[in-house]
Structure 1
Amino acid sequence: MSSSNLFEEKTVRTEQIFQGRIISLQVDEVELPNGSIATREIVRHPGAVAVLPIKGDRMIVVEQYRKPLGKSLVEIPAGKLDGGEDPLEAAKRELMEETGYTCPTIRHVASFYTSPGFADELIHLYVADELVPGQANPDEDEFLEVTEVTLDEAKALIREGRIEDAKTIMAVYAWQLYRLTGSYA
């Protein structure tokens, strides 16, 4: 597999369409490798973190309403990075804010792009398995319920369509891999 920029698209022009609190949208005119011109709509995002909190034989999840989907989802704790914030520190912050738990050792599992065809959002996934209980402190606009599920229950929630986001599905299968092999990756 080639790692060169053989397929690179050179930006000819960029137009900023929207600048919001979380994302921005731009439209780029690009020159393709064959010399023709195309348009790319690009969502810019500061990046995010997600934490797989393991408590014995259960994972801690939160259920919250997701307006873009018009329904509630069961997810692992997660949140966006704040202006150049270190992902590990953000993971610790999100774990505490959403669940009340802290963890002395949070380990990186993987980082992945959510939708590289139109967005640059990069999520850093961590695992926390030495949980210390505390008091949750969600953001003022966050309403969520914290629960614990087994691996089998998490997989059932995926089948039922209650866990549908990529970060949580990836975390569930990373946890399953760990239980089978002793490694998250």
Structure 2
Amino acid sequence: MKDHLHEETLHKERIYQGRIIELENHTVRLPDGKESKREVVRHPGAVGIICFRNDKLILVYQYRKALGKVIAEIPAGKLDEGESPEVCAVRELEEETGIKAGSCRFLCSFYTSPGFADELVHIYIAEDLKAGHKAADDDEFVEMAEVSLEEASAFIEDGTIHDAKTLYAVQYLQLQKERSSSRPK
């Protein structure tokens, strides 16, 4: 599959090791034989959870320092070392919202910014919902909201929802709603 586009890594150097990410500089050989530099962000991966109850999408408001503003997102979080995405999805949903999923069904995975980062986000749908215990991380301040699909669409238009995983979730739910309404009764 298009192996002629492959870039061979000749040298790599870790220039930063943080709590969440690593940053590497790579020297690569391009398909035409020339050399170039690449900056690569390494990330352990994350999950996003679509939780829909009582005809409402569960969102969390959170300040995002990189953006300098509060946005509304589906509950989400970083994978802990050795943790499966499904276990992470159940854990993060409960920590951020106090909603416990009896199970989570895998929907899809996608790379957030493949031009420079290897972060892979796994999207799950929370099922068999019940009350749990909200216990956000010490440095995490979130506020839960329950919104209709119409409200979520308006949030996309006004920039309240401004991230790929939540845009995907709203689009997915809208498609499901359209499909179910077009089925013969």
Q: Above 0.5 in TM-score?
A: yes
Structure 1 outlier segments of 4+, above 4 Å: none
CA deviations on 1:79-124 (whole Å, 9 max, x unpaired) are: 0001121000000000000001112231111100000000000000
Aligned partner of 1:40 in structure 2 is 38
Aligned partner of 1:97 in structure 2 is 95
Deviation at 1:4, TM superposition (A): 3.8
Q: Among 128, 131, 153, which residue is 1:155 paired with?
A: 153
The CA distance in 1 between the partners of 2:176 and 2:126, in whole Å, is 13
Aligned partner of 2:55 in structure 1 is 57
The CA distance in 2 between the partners of 1:153 and 1:129, in whole Å, is 22
Aligned partner of 1:175 in structure 2 is 173
SS of residue paired to 1:141: coil
The CA distance in 2 between the partners of 1:84 and 1:129, in whole Å, is 23
The 8 Å contact of residues 54 and 131 in structure 1, kept in 2 or not, is answered as no
Q: Among 1, 8, 11, which residue is 2:9 paired with?
A: 11
Deviation at 1:72, TM superposition (A): 0.3
Task: Give the paired residue count.
Answer: 180
Aligned partner of 1:146 in structure 2 is 144
Gaps in structure 2 of 5+ consecutive residues: 181-185
| Greater strand content | 2
Deviation at 1:129, TM superposition (A): 3.9
The 8 Å contact of residues 55 and 130 in structure 1, kept in 2 or not, is answered as no
The CA distance in 1 between the partners of 2:15 and 2:108, in whole Å, is 32
The CA distance in 2 between the partners of 1:132 and 1:17, in whole Å, is 44
SS of residue paired to 1:6: helix
Deviation at 1:133, TM superposition (A): 2.0
TM, length-normalised to structure 2: 0.94
The 8 Å contact of residues 62 and 70 in structure 2, kept in 1 or not, is answered as yes
TM, length-normalised to structure 1: 0.94
The 8 Å contact of residues 106 and 129 in structure 1, kept in 2 or not, is answered as yes
The CA distance in 2 between the partners of 1:49 and 1:13, in whole Å, is 31
1:124 aligns with 2:108: no
Gaps in structure 1 of 5+ consecutive residues: none
SS of residue paired to 2:12: strand
Deviation at 1:177, TM superposition (A): 1.2
Deviation at 1:27, TM superposition (A): 0.5
